[in-house]
Amino acid sequence: MPATALPELVCPAGSLPALKAAVDHGADAVYLGFKNATNARNFAGLNFTDAQIKTGIDYAKQRGKSVLIAINTYAQAGRVAEWHRAIDAAADAGADAVILADLGLLDYATRVHPTLHRHLSVQGSATNFEAVNLAHDYFGIRRAVLPRVLTLPQVEYVIKNTPVEIEVFGFGSLCVMAEGRCILSSYATGESPNTHGVCSPASHVQWIPQGDTMSTRLNGILIDHFAADEPAGYPTLCKGRFEVNDATYYALEEPTSLNALAVLPELLRIGVRAIKVEGRQRSPAYTAEVTKTLRAALDAAADPRYSVKPAWQQALNKVSEGHQQTLGAYSRPWR
């Protein structure tokens, strides 16, 4: 693959309108999940029934786009058949690939659906080429999604030492935790993204109006308190404001979004095969705006004269978490 070949633009679809928005605005592939615990974005009101997946796949394929189905939680004891059925349903629907984290599910997909492409989910937490190559050797994975904790030189090192296509995140809500290893939600609620499909399950979330202010709680734990003119974010432990030594602030992480526009030429140079947008829990309008913007940027990124257009930054700032953006681990000037 030439160093300047464009990576695939892989965009989120939490609903059929979001899938159509991604396809219509320039995504090369969309990723989605079922309405159950096999999906790490198992929020009420989102995701796809079997019939909707069939409709979405038909819509995408008629326009030359791919559909990837995320079955990226870990199968639970006594319920493994649910995850097997999800893989079967993805294969039957004609998905181009399944995105899996659980090694047992990778084994099942390899044995039962050998022609179905398998991608290693970011929830598999493979941060080095040895982990990626193990999944390739045993389960024939075609692609691996790297966690958002690696610097660009580290990403390049993985790419140079594996035959597996490497996918990285280019935009979306940033998490301070290493994907696949977070237990904060489990600590507070007994349910975690890896087991129940949701960080901060809706059944444990409370929005409590108090006059002109709003408090949010997770299983009774106060996460944040918002003034009347502040946008009230979804309550997650890692992005709550807490009192520490008589000061109240974002003790773990401020709400912010990863934005890789500035390093797109570098991602092309090192051979990244796919750029992923986070946000299956976001609206179709979010999907359309981000897809359209990254499509334009990617199409321009191979030009040696590439520079980030102010209009792109402005468009992404509007949909960034906390209206803040960062290069995250891609830029570590202290190293």
SS3 of the chain = CCCCCCCEEEEECCCHHHHHHHHHCCCCEEEECECCCCCCCCCCCCCECHHHHHHHHHHHHHCCCEEEEEECCCCCCCCHHHHHHHHHHHHHHCCCEEEECCHHHHHHHHHHCCCCEEEECHHHCCCCHHHHHHHHHHHCCCEEECCCCCCHHHHHHHHHCCCCEEEEEEEEECCCCCCCCCCHHHHHHCCCHHHHCCCCCHHHEEEEEECCEEEEEECCEEEEEECCCCCCCCCCHHHCEEEECCEEEECCCCCCEEECHHHHHHHHHHCCCEEEECCCCCCHHHHHHHHHHHHHHHHHHCCCCCCCCHHHHHHHHHHCHHHCEECHHHCCCCC
Cα gap 140→66, rounded to integer Å: 19
Q: What confidence score (pLDDT) does residue 331 get?
A: 83
Q: Say whether pLDDT at 192 is over 80.
A: no
% of the chain residues with pLDDT over 90: 68
Q: Say whether pLDDT at 176 is over 90.
A: no
Model confidence at 187, pLDDT cuts 50, 70, 90, reads confident
What's the chain's average pLDDT? Answer: 91
Q: What confidence score (pLDDT) does residue 288 get?
A: 98
Q: What confidence score (pLDDT) does residue 239 get?
A: 84
Mean pLDDT value across residues 202-216: 88
SS (H, E, C) 15-64: CHHHHHHHHHCCCCEEEECECCCCCCCCCCCCCECHHHHHHHHHHHHHCC
Condensed to tens digits (0 to 9), the pLDDT of residues 132-154 reads: 999 999 999 999 999 998 999 99
Model confidence at 334, pLDDT cuts 50, 70, 90, reads low
Q: In DSSP terms, which residues pair with 224 in a beta bridge?
A: 216
Cα gap 229→220, rounded to integer Å: 24
Cα gap 250→78, rounded to integer Å: 39
Model confidence at 3, pLDDT cuts 50, 70, 90, reads very low
Q: Say whether pLDDT at 198 is over 90.
A: no
Q: What confidence score (pLDDT) does residue 333 get?
A: 64
Condensed to tens digits (0 to 9), the pLDDT of residues 231-240 reads: 777 888 888 8
Q: Say whether pLDDT at 335 is over 60.
A: no
- When mean pLDDT is compared across 43-47, 68-72, 179-183, 303-307, the lowest value belongs to 179-183
Please, what CATH class does the domain formed by 8-174+256-330 belong to?
alpha beta
Mean pLDDT value across residues 3-20: 91
If one compares 270 and 234, the residue with the highest pLDDT of the two is 270
Q: Say whether pLDDT at 4 is over 70.
A: no
Tokens found for residue 77: 């004891």
Domain boundaries, the chain: 8-174+256-330, 200-250
Q: Say whether pLDDT at 1 is over 60.
A: no
Cα gap 34→69, rounded to integer Å: 8
If one compares 110 and 181, the residue with the highest pLDDT of the two is 110
Mean pLDDT value across residues 40-58: 91
% of the chain residues with pLDDT over 70: 96
Q: Say whether pLDDT at 61 is over 90.
A: yes
Model confidence at 92, pLDDT cuts 50, 70, 90, reads very high
